[in-house]
Structure 1
Amino acid sequence: MTTIPQGDLRLLESDIARRMLDSTELARLAYVAQDGTPRVLPMLFHWNGTEIVFATFGGTAKLNALRARPDVAITIDTAGPPPVVLLLRGRAEVAEIEGVAPDYLTMQQRYYGPEQGERAAAELQEPGLRMARIAVRPAWVGTFDFMTRFPGGLSADEFARRGR
């Protein structure tokens, strides 16, 4: 996988990508707000094999911004050492849902366990609740772990010489 270039969707099959997609690290969703300024939100996520999915409450400014400008970037990473990083780019698709989004329950259970996940979803069950599902199908994938892959596609030696 070290010879696969950054941006190639085959990197989704790499150990780095699988580790991050299976992790309970927060994903950071970057998008452009209605006022044209960038935003980054740490969010729980679920990888369903083809999309990275987020759930949020309906009627928020971020949903309007995502509908207006659906191109997003996502990072899932560990602090390390060494850091391990998965970078994704794609277009967000937003769907509003009456009640608790099934993906919200899936995320809560994945991050906090079955009992706590059920409890968190049950606490939200109220008439009139609207949630939204944000799904991003990756169009670009990048990975680095500072052991087998380095930022910018550099080799370990090239990375060590940077700035000199």
Structure 2
Amino acid sequence: MSAPSGTARPEREPMTLPQGDVGLLHSPVAQALLRSTELARVAYVVGDGTPRVFPMLFHWTGTELVLCTFAGARKIAAIRARPDIAVTIDAATTPPEVLLLRGRAVVTDVEGIAEEYRLAHRRYAGPEQGDVNVAAVDHPGVRMARIALRPSWVGVLDFVTRLPGQAPPEVRMEPAGP
């Protein structure tokens, strides 16, 4: 298994890492979900302090999860004001597979269509339909926001080897320190 571009391969097998370790991005579950057409569910906090969750298409660059939205969307100001966000990408399989990400988002204004928006549409809908979807909104004067998350905390659940609140078996078997 090769490391995603721009990231170093972890020293340990990814599925033996504790929850929170960014090396879990190299796990088969994480890699499959980052290539999938599952929606990213983005959690953020708005100005009045209440939480929001919004499903979005995404593009994984190998180091950043990129979410694009059109200028004027309320989530842009909220994420700029409170850039710590959480994301889940999960497959409704049996057993379920879940990738959890946390970190600080960086919002960048983009004139025209953001390239990651185009790439996400091509992945989700296929090249031809993706291009049709983007062309439908690509008009003079269109502006977008590029929301980039470089994960600082990663969790993986597959409900076989990794369960909520538990370290993988290899980690649990290590003796406690002095």
Q: For 1:43 and 1:72, how far apart are their aligned partners in 2?
A: 13
Question: After the TM superposition, which residues 5-154 of structure 1 pair with which residues of structure 2 at under 5 Å, given as runs?
Answer: 5-153=18-166
Q: For 2:126 and 2:15, how far apart are their aligned partners in 1?
A: 34
Where in structure 1 do 4 or more consecutive aligned residues deviate above 6 Å? none
Stretch deviating more after TM superposition (87-96 or 123-132): 123-132
Q: Which amino acid aligns with 1:13?
A: H
What is the aligned-residue RMSD (CA, Å)?
Answer: 1.3
Q: Which amino acid aligns with 1:86?
A: L
Q: For 1:126 and 1:146, how far apart are their aligned partners in 2?
A: 45
Structure whose residues are more often helix by fraction = 1
Aligned-residue offset at 1:117: 1.2
Aligned-residue offset at 1:2: 3.6
Q: Are the aligned partners of 2:108 and 2:147 in contact in 1 as well (CA < 8 Å)?
A: yes
Structure whose residues are more often strand by fraction = 1
Relative to structure 1, the CA distance from residue 127 to residue 155 in structure 2 (aligned partners, 3 Å threshold; closer, same or farther) is closer
TM-score of the aligned structures, taking structure 1 as reference length: 0.91
**SS across alignment from 2:76:** helix
List gaps (5 residues or longer) in structure 1.
157-164
Q: Are the aligned partners of 2:15 and 2:24 in contact in 1 as well (CA < 8 Å)?
A: no
Relative to structure 1, the CA distance from residue 107 to residue 155 in structure 2 (aligned partners, 3 Å threshold; closer, same or farther) is closer
1:125-164 per-residue CA deviation (whole Å, 9 max, x = no partner) reads 22221111110000000001111111111568xxxxxxxx
Aligned residues: 156
Aligned-residue offset at 1:3: 2.5
**SS across alignment from 1:138:** coil
Q: Are the aligned partners of 2:20 and 2:155 in contact in 1 as well (CA < 8 Å)?
A: yes
Q: Which amino acid aligns with 1:15?
A: P
